[in-house]
Structure 1
């Protein structure tokens, strides 16, 4: 058993390679093998979002505050609010982030397959993001 005291692990900033805008991530769990679970508390400033990406074993998002969007490739963006839980299937191309005027925080839970839990793709275009904001 290992206990990680609050504040004992540093907050990471989202890389501009994978995010647009101000994004921070606090680790919840990154279990050693043979376990595969990874979880983060991710905070998006207004207008911040991920790039398009996929997860080899899927992803669960649980919104804890604010207002945001999630979009599956080929479908319209959908608003997500506190208490909403989103299941994203393995290999499903998607993005998620805050609305233009509101911050959003969610817990992101996913599993690693052969040490990898995400494949990053291209950034969400400003036009696609503007369409999400209606």
Structure 2
């Protein structure tokens, strides 16, 4: 499983290079995030799903486990650049009620940094 990883002072961006989000992908992503949490217990993550074009049901449980692990470490987890078919599946599985989703990297950064002022500015632009 290939991931592009970008370390920032307050968060890590993980961009998987896969077309299909399946159980293997979600478990590999969970392992990568656990590594980050062990290295820095208060780490937040932005998952850039721009390359992911499909999602299967078996990936749902590991994604929820990722969310729980990050929250337990008092971090934030935001998914961004979600492609249409993946977004449809996320909504079908009702994951959008548990996972933070951002429409852009800028919005994702505001969410992981709890930047209320920037988030308000983004809402005003809509």
What TM-score, normalized to structure 1?
A: 0.29
More helix per residue: 2
More strand per residue: 1
Which one has the largest radius of gyration? 1
What TM-score, normalized to structure 2?
A: 0.30
